[in-house]
Structure 1
Amino acid sequence: MKVLLVEDDQALAEALREALGDAGVLLETAATGGEADFLVRTEAYDAVILDLGLPDGDGSRWLAQWRDDAIDTPVLVLTARTRWADKAAGFSAGADDYVTKPFETAEVLFRLRALVRRSHGHAHPVLRIGDLDFDTHAGSVTLAGRPVSLTAQESRLLAYLAHAAPRVVTRSELAEHVYDRDHEPDSNVIDVQISRLRRKLGAARIQTHRGQGYRLAEVDETP
């Protein structure tokens, strides 16, 4: 999952980057609403963590502008404000969920994963494709009940395919959502990592649709 954190407290931003990064989240940061506005309009994110107290305007104002412009990326509001009126303003602007500072990093992670899962139309925390289970809460993978060991990059790649299944995912979509904007891969890198996943999960499980992209399928499906 690729997430944009909009937070002007650099110490907090770095702490979240490290903690969420250890859980497999690719976290990019913006310190102002203006910087965040540019990024959400030019980059692809699975979710945004948005502080309300930004130096160049209330976060809810920036969020309202995004929603007015049909930017529907899930947004988790993160703020020290505890009054119901402030929470209501965030939800009215288009927030999907809310966490009040101080918070547990684990709560932020669980809420992020739930937001992303629901944005893809999944209610259950375990995404099941045939005998492959991807636990979105634990970030773990089992195949026919047996655990599968994946690298962080392989896990992010599989997670995006699993959330999108049975839809075909283009190479450009994978590059935008799975890799850092400063290190977006060429097609060969994606091919290599897809090949590694196929060796671990079975070649038939990840289908190549020529000229379109990749699709995660049940093993008894034919390409």
Structure 2
Amino acid sequence: MNVFLLEDDAEASDFIARGLRERGHHVETETDGRAAILKLGASEFDVLILDRMVPGLDGLAVLRSLRAMGRTTPTLLLTAMAQIVDRVDGLEAGADDYLVKPFAFAELAARVAALGRRAPVGEVPALLRVADVEMNLLRREVRRGGRLVELQPREFALLEQLLRNAGRVVTRTMLLDRVWNFGFDPKTNIVETHMSRLRGKLNQGFTRSAIRTVRGSGYMMEDDGC
């Protein structure tokens, strides 16, 4: 597996890279955020490990830039910033996982392996469709009634979960786990905020809401409308 590591601490970078290489991974390293964006724009990796506090451009800004470019490479944020708000910021920016320093290398290796096991796009249906909403997973495009709907990475992930579970209620807990990778409830309105934005974009120009709220349970999409 090809792994990219952004870490400005030489000792930490060497420790992580050496350990991953011993497990059979190819690892490329960088210490500067701006240089990282250039390298990531020119090469493909299976997993990214980004430290948040690096020179040039911090890891969070690097991640936001990559997601804005449409790069969906599974990404682990590695940082000493351990507050809930820091985790939420990182996950909202598009991170798939978040590990706080100091950490056990065995856990880091396991998390990297888990991210790398995600099914390639070619192994899942290219199109998801419910009623007049269609998602193209290969092109990362969403259309409603043929109109292109521009979504941010988390909004796209929310909609994907709803489309994959059409006709079934998707709970807030499920969305926290599958979209933000939270194994606990952080007691924020992160789901509601993103769902509101997603609805606003999907419903623009339509009289029927594409997503139905099931009071006290969660959200769902149905072929026969909401």
Q: Which TM class, normalised by the smaller chain length?
A: 0.5 to 0.7
Matched, 1:18 2:18: yes
Q: Which residue is equivalent to 1:108?
A: 108
Query: Structure 1 residue 22: deviation in Å?
Result: 0.7
CA contact (8 A) 1:74 1:119 kept: no
Which residue is 1:78 aligned to? 78
Taking the aligned partners of 2:89 and 2:112, their CA distance within structure 1 comes to 20
* Aligned ranges 1:1-223 → 2 under 5 Å: 1-120=1-120
TM superposition shift of 1:58: 2.4
Amino acid at match of 2:75: V
Aligned letter for 1:47? V
Q: How much has 1:116 moved relative to structure 2?
A: 1.3
Kindly state the Cα deviation for residue 106 of structure 1 after the two structures are TM-superposed: 1.0
Secondary structure of residue in 2 paired with 1:91:
helix
SS at match of 2:49: strand
SS in 2 for 1:57: coil
The structure whose RCO (Cα within 8 Å, separation 6+) is larger is 1
- Structure 1 distance, partners of 2:120, 2:96, is 14
Q: 4+ runs of 1 displaced by more than 6 Å?
A: none
Aligned length: 122
Mapped to 1, the partners of 2:117 and 2:109 lie a distance apart of 12
Q: What is the one-letter code of the residue matched to 1:96? A: D
CA distance in 2, matches of 1:38, 1:71: 13
Greater fraction helix = 1
Q: Distance in 1 between matches of 2:13 and 2:47?
A: 16
Distance in 2, matches of 1:69 and 1:17, equals: 26
> Aligned with 2:28: secondary structure?
strand
* Partner Cα distance (2:119, 2:61) in 1: 22
Gap runs ≥5 in structure 2: 124-226
Q: Contact 1:79–1:100 at 8 Å: present in 2 too?
A: yes
Deviation at 1:39, TM superposition (A): 1.1
How far apart, CA to CA, are the structure 2 residues paired with 1:27 and 1:105? 15
SS at match of 1:72: coil
TM-score normalised over the length of structure 2: 0.52
* Contact preservation (8 Å) 1:20, 1:109: yes
**Which amino acid in structure 2 is aligned with residue 81 of structure 1?**
M
Which residue in 1 is equivalent to 2:219?
Answer: none
Give the whole-Å Cα distance in 1 for the aligned partners of 2:30 and 2:105: 19
AA aligned to 2:97 is D
Alpha-carbon separation, structure 2, partners of 1:39 and 1:58: 15
d(CA) in 2 for partners of 1:58 and 1:108? 20
Q: Which segments of 5 or more consecutive residues in structure 1 lack a partner in the other structure?
A: 123-223
